C-alpha cells in the first residue's frame, strides 16, 4: 500500500471541512487552504481537487480570489528569490545570467518602467562579450524607469535567442516586479547588434509580456513579424550597415510591417529608421527609441491576435493557449474577438483554448466560438479559483490572469 505524504494526507482530511465552507464562501475556504499551503506547481493538483476551487464565482468573488492568490504567491517568491536578486545573478538549468541595472527618475505610483537592454558580441571569447556587456550599460538613459542590462548566459553567436532566454527573461521580469515595483504593463526590450538579433526573435515570441520593443543594428535570421500585431516595434539601422545585409533586411522589414499595417490598420504599430551616413555604429542616434517605446503600455487583451510560433515555442499567447504538441512546426493562428464572440479565422492546429476573464468578456452571458460557418462552442463558462491559480502559476504575472476557459476542436480543414 502506497503511503501518502503528510501534506497531501492532511489536505484530503481537511477537504470535507473546506468543502462545507465553500458552499457559503469559496474565498473563506481558499484562505483556510492557503493558511496551510504555499501556492506552488506541486500543490496545484491538491488545490484543484478541492470543491471550493471548482465552485462558480461571482465577478466580485473572482477579484478577491485573484488578489488573495497573488498576495500568497508574491510572499513566497519574494522570500525564495531574495538571495538570487541580491546577487544580481539568475541561474536556471545550469546556466547563469548576471544583470546590472540603474533607476532613473521618480517612481510613478502605479509602478516603474523596465527597459531590458541586450548587449552585442556573440560567437566570441567571454572577455569580448564581457566588454560588450560593460559598453551596453552606458548606451541609453530613460527619463523614468529602470535601465537593466543582462549579461548573456552563453558566448554563442545566437546568445540572445537560444531557447533558454525566454525563461530567463520571464523570471527577470517577475523579479523586477517583486523587488523594484515594476509595472508589468511597462516592460520593454531593446538590443544592439547581436542584442538586436535577440529583439527580432524575442519580441514576436514574448509580445504578450511586453509594451514595446526596439531593434538596433541586428539581423532577424529566419524569424517573421506576424506575431507583432499588438506590439509597437521600432527598427534603427545604419543605412551603410551592409554586413550580413543588415541594412537591406531592415528595409525589407519596413515594407513587411507597412504591408501588415495596411491590411490590418489597428495592428502592427511600428517605426523604421535607416540612419543616413551611419554604418554599424549609429553614433547614438538610435537613442530616440527609448522615449518612443516609453509612450506605450502593454495591450494585455487585444481584440485580434496573430500568433505564429517560431523554433522556440510557447503554449500561451495573450488569451490563446495550445498544448505543447500543437505548438510544434511553426503553426500560425488568427483569432478575433467582438463582444462575447471569438472567431478563429485561421489555425494550423486542431485544438485551441480560449482563456477568459471579466476584462475580455461579459461572463454573465454566453461565449460563442466560431470558425468559418461552424459554431464550435456556445455557452456560459464558470469563473473558478482553480483556473485563477493555474493561470497565475503559469506566468507569475498578476495582470495576465484568467478565471475561465473553453477548449474547442477545429474542423480538420482549419488545421491544414
pLDDT tens-digit readout, 325-362: 999 999 999 999 999 999 999 899 999 999 999 999 99
- pLDDT of residue 239 exceeding 60: yes
Do residues 143 and 294 lie in contact, with contact meaning Cβ atoms separated by under 8 Å? yes
Arithmetic mean of pLDDT, 114-126: 96
DSSP structure class, residue 74: H
Do residues 119 and 195 lie in contact, with contact meaning Cβ atoms separated by under 8 Å? yes
Domain stops at, among 294, 326, 353: 294
Residue 58 lies in a domain: yes
Residue 397 lies in a domain: yes
**101 and 68 belong to one structural domain:** no
**146 and 263 belong to one structural domain:** yes
Number of domains in the chain: 3
DSSP structure class, residue 83: H
Q: Given pLDDT bands bounded at 50, 70 and 90, which one contains residue 372?
A: confident
pLDDT tens-digit readout, 288-330: 999 999 999 999 999 999 999 999 999 999 999 999 999 999 9
- pLDDT of residue 24 exceeding 80: no
pLDDT value at residue 5: 43
**258 and 358 belong to one structural domain:** no
| Three cell numbers written together for 145 | 524607469
Domain stops at, among 235, 268, 294: 294
- The 10 Å Cβ neighbour count of residue 295 is 10
Domain stops at, among 53, 80, 107: 80
- pLDDT of residue 15 exceeding 60: no
Cβ neighbours of residue 344 closer than 8 Å, sequence gap 6 or more: 333, 334, 335, 352, 369, 370, 371, 376, 408, 410, 414
pLDDT tens-digit readout, 273-285: 999 999 999 999 9
Q: How many percent of the chain have pLDDT more than 70?
A: 93
Query: Integer distance in angstroms from the first to the last C-alpha of the chain?
Result: 48
**283 and 176 belong to one structural domain:** yes
DSSP string, 235-278: EEEETT--GGGHHHHHHHHHHHHHHHHHHSTTS--EEEEEETT-
**360 and 265 belong to one structural domain:** no
- Smallest Cα–Cα separation from 10: which of 28, 29, 33, 31? 33
Question: Helix/strand/coil (H, E, C) string of 198-224?
Answer: HHHHHHHHCHHHCCEEEEECCCCCCCC
**92 and 209 belong to one structural domain:** yes
Distances (CA, A) of 32 to 8, 46, 353: 15, 14, 31
The CATH number of whichever domain residue 215 belongs to comes to 3.40.50.1820
pLDDT value at residue 20: 45
Arithmetic mean of pLDDT, 172-179: 98
Q: How many percent of the chain have pLDDT more than 90?
A: 92
pLDDT value at residue 412: 64
Residue 355 φ then ψ, to 5° = -90, 140
- pLDDT of residue 12 exceeding 50: no
Query: What span, in angstroms and rounded, lies between the C-alpha atoms of 203 and 188?
Result: 9
**92 and 71 belong to one structural domain:** no
- pLDDT of residue 6 exceeding 90: no
Residue 1 lies in a domain: no
Residue with cell 540603474: 102
Go through 126-135 and write b for each residue having 16 or more CB atoms within 10 A of its CB, e for each that does not.
eeebbebbee
**247 and 326 belong to one structural domain:** no
Sheet holding 304-308, edge to edge: 304-308, 332-338, 341-347, 367-371, 374-379
Residue 299 lies in a domain: no
| Three cell numbers written together for 92 | 536556471
**95 and 142 belong to one structural domain:** yes
pLDDT tens-digit readout, 153-167: 999 999 999 999 999
| Residue span of the structural domain in which 54 resides | 6-80
Residue 262 lies in a domain: yes
**Crossing angle for the helix pair 385-395 and 59-87, to the nearest 10 degrees:** 20
Residue 205 lies in a domain: yes
Indicate whether this model's pTM tops 0.75: yes
**280 and 324 belong to one structural domain:** no
Do residues 62 and 70 lie in contact, with contact meaning Cβ atoms separated by under 8 Å? no
pLDDT value at residue 357: 98
pLDDT tens-digit readout, 380-410: 999 999 999 999 999 999 999 999 999 999 9
**125 and 255 belong to one structural domain:** yes
Do residues 160 and 118 lie in contact, with contact meaning Cβ atoms separated by under 8 Å? yes
Q: Given pLDDT bands bounded at 50, 70 and 90, which one contains residue 411?
A: confident
If one compares 169 and 19, the residue with the highest pLDDT of the two is 169
- pLDDT of residue 71 exceeding 60: yes
Residue 67 φ then ψ, to 5° = -65, -40
**99 and 40 belong to one structural domain:** no
Cβ neighbours of residue 406 closer than 8 Å, sequence gap 6 or more: 353, 354, 356, 367, 369, 377, 379, 381
- Smallest Cα–Cα separation from 212: which of 142, 273, 291, 146? 291
Amino acid at each position: 500500500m502506497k503511503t501518502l505524504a503528510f501534506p497531501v494526507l492532511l489536505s484530503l482530511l481537511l477537504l470535507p471541512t473546506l468543502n462545507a465552507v465553500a458552499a457559503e464562501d469559496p474565498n473563506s475556504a481558499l484562505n483556510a487552504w492557503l493558511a496551510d499551503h504555499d501556492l506552488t506547481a506541486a500543490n496545484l493538483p491538491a488545490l484543484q481537487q478541492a470543491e471550493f476551487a471548482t465552485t462558480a464565482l461571482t465577478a466580485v468573488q473572482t477579484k478577491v480570489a485573484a488578489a488573495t492568490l497573488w498576495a500568497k504567491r508574491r510572499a513566497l517568491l519574494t522570500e525564495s528569490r531574495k538571495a538570487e536578486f541580491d546577487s544580481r545573478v539568475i541561474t536556471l538549468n545550469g546556466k547563469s545570467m548576471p544583470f546590472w541595472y540603474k533607476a532613473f527618475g521618480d517612481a510613478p505610483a502605479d509602478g516603474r518602467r523596465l527597459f531590458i537592454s541586450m548587449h552585442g558580441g556573440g560567437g566570441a571569447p567571454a572577455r569580448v562579450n564581457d566588454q560588450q556587456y560593460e559598453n551596453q550599460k552606458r548606451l541609453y538613459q530613460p527619463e523614468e524607469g529602470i535601465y537593466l542590462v543582462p549579461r548573456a548566459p552563453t558566448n554563442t553567436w545566437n546568445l540572445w535567442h537560444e531557447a533558454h532566454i525566454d525563461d530567463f527573461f520571464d523570471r527577470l521580469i517577475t523579479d523586477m516586479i517583486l523587488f523594484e515595483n515594476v509595472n508589468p504593463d511597462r516592460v520593454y526590450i531593446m538590443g544592439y547588434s547581436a542584442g538586436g538579433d535577440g529583439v527580432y526573435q524575442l519580441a514576436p515570441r514574448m509580445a504578450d509580456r511586453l509594451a514595446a520593443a526596439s531593434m538596433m543594428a541586428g539581423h532577424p535570421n529566419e524569424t517573421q513579424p506576424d506575431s507583432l500585431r499588438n506590439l509597437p516595434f521600432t527598427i534603427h539601422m545604419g543605412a551603410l550597415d551592409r554586413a550580413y545585409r543588415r541594412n537591406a533586411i531592415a528595409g525589407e522589414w519596413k515594407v513587411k510591417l507597412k504591408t501588415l499595417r495596411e491590411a490590418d490598420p489597428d495592428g502592427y504599430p511600428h517605426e523604421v529608421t535607416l540612419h543616413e551616413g551611419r554604418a554599424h555604429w549609429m553614433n547614438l542616434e538610435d537613442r530616440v527609441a527609448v522615449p518612443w517605446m516609453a509612450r506605450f503600455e502593454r495591450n494585455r487583451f487585444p481584440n485580434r491576435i496573430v500568433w505564429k510560433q517560431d523554433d522556440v515555442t510557447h503554449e500561451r499567447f495573450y488569451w490563446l493557449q495550445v498544448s505543447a504538441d500543437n505548438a510544434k512546426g511553426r503553426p500560425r493562428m488568427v483569432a478575433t474577438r467582438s463582444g462575447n464572440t471569438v472567431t478563429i479565422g485561421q489555425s494550423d492546429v486542431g485544438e485551441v483554448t480560449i482563456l477568459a476573464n471579466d476584462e475580455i468578456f461579459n461572463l454573465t452571458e454566453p461565449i460563442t466560438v466560431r470558425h468559418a460557418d461552424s459554431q464550435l462552442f456556445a455557452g456560459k463558462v464558470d469563473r473558478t479559483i482553480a483556473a485563477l491559480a493555474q493561470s497565475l502559476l503559469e506566468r507569475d504575472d498578476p495582470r495576465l490572469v484568467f478565471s475561465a476557459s473553453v477548449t474547442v476542436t477545429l474542423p480538420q480543414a482549419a488545421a491544414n
